[in-house]
Structure 1
């Protein structure tokens, strides 16, 4: 079972490509890194893989079938900026339970205070919001997680705490993870393969 990008290209005009001819595969249980210079399209590719954007050419397949268009999406994306991923008119408990109901153990491991559940998004810091976004993405039906600079805004101790919780959940659910990051030490520590989007070259992590 795998998530695949096959000859994917994206641009706002066909003569102005952001990237072209991208082939990428992510198997369940695998952790793969995605790197590249600013503007190379890492975030856009992550959005395409999660179904938020459509490629201008090529296809994305999940287990040899098109991405689903309804229901809980098996490919979850955690954005770098969590404020763009939450409804400001919903309390945090409603945002968290949009996809599933995480247990107290996961909330504790992600550093989520239960008192925060009654708050509005503007009453939390960016780092606190991101913890909710991570928890929301780790539902039991998630097969693949796209982590786009997921912990960049957090301090080193919190980064380690969140990544350990994510890795434990991924192992438990045999979840595949694509880690989009410019932090080489993080990628080298987590990933078995690293793909450079600017050259579509894979190297061992």
Structure 2
């Protein structure tokens, strides 16, 4: 299976193009790193690949076909700031079960504690909340994961635990992954190849 962006371009209003003519292909089971300076459009590109934003030019396809918006989205995005990705009025059990019911082994590997389920997002730390967001994204129908600086704001121990859980999950699936990070060591350690957004855009 392939996630492909063809000649996509985006800008806000009448402002300058963030990027234009960008082509990216990610294969099932492949881990691709995406780097680029701040303001180059990495987060916007992540939002386009995962269906949160529509490109002004070009298209995003899954195995050559448009992605349906009427079912569970096969491309899941984990944001850098987890508090922006959850409903603050929902308790965590509802947040977690919004798309599917995770298996206990995944929750255990992410270090999610049972007592957190009855709390609201504001009652959790950033690391605790991000664990829930990762668990929610790793559903059985997820074909591609877009990780937009998903562990940047976390301490080293939490970062390591989350990535270990993700990689362990991927051993038993063919999920393709796009890793966006300023951490060159992390990208080099995780990814099969790395692309620089500056050199993709016309």
| TM over 0.5, shorter chain | yes
1:63 CA displacement: 1.2
TM-score normalized with structure 2 length: 0.97
Match of 1:197 in 2: 197
Is 2:101 the partner of 1:74? no
- Following superposition, the deviation at residue 171 of structure 1 comes to 2.3
- Is the 1:90–1:120 contact (alpha carbons within 8 Å) kept by the matching residues of 2? yes
Query: How many Å separate the matches in 1 of 2:76 and 2:105?
Result: 21
Shift of 1:56: 0.9
**Superimposed CA distance per residue, residues 82-128 of structure 1 (whole angstroms, 9 cap, x where no aligned partner):** 00100011110000011111122211110111100011111111111
- Select the structure that is richer in strand: 1
Give me the CA root mean square deviation. 1.1
What whole-Å deviation, never above 9, does each CA across 1:17-39 have from its counterpart, x for those lacking one? 01111100001000000000000
Name the structure 2 match of 1:174.
Answer: 174
TM-score calculated relative to the size of structure 1? 0.95
Number of equivalences: 201
Number of the residue aligned with 2:153:
153
Aligned to 2:157, the other structure's residue is in SS state helix
| Separation in structure 2 between the aligned mates of residue 14 and residue 123 of structure 1, nearest angstrom | 41
Residues 8 and 57 of structure 1 are in contact (CA less than 8 Å); yes or no, is this contact kept in structure 2?
yes
Residue of structure 2 equivalent to 1:27: 27
2:160 is equivalent to residue 143 of structure 1 = no
Asked if the contact 2:74/2:141 (under 8 Å) is kept, the reply is yes
Task: Provide the residue aligned with 2:123 in structure 1.
Answer: 123
Which residue of structure 1 lines up, in the alignment, with residue 164 of structure 2? 164
Contact 2:127 2:158 in 1 (8 A): no
3-state SS in 2 of match to 1:55: coil
Partner of residue 2, structure 2: 2
SS in 2 for 1:33: strand
Query: Which digits, 9 at most, give the CA deviation of each residue in 1:42-93, with x for residues without a partner?
Result: 0000000000001110110011111211111100000000001000111100
SS at match of 1:160: helix
Secondary structure class of the residue paired with 1:133: helix
Specify the SS of the correspondent of 2:163. Answer: helix
Structure 1 unaligned spans of 5+ = none
Partner SS state of residue 88, structure 1: coil
- Note the alpha carbon deviations across 1:1-22, whole angstroms, 9 max, x for none: 1100101110024661011111
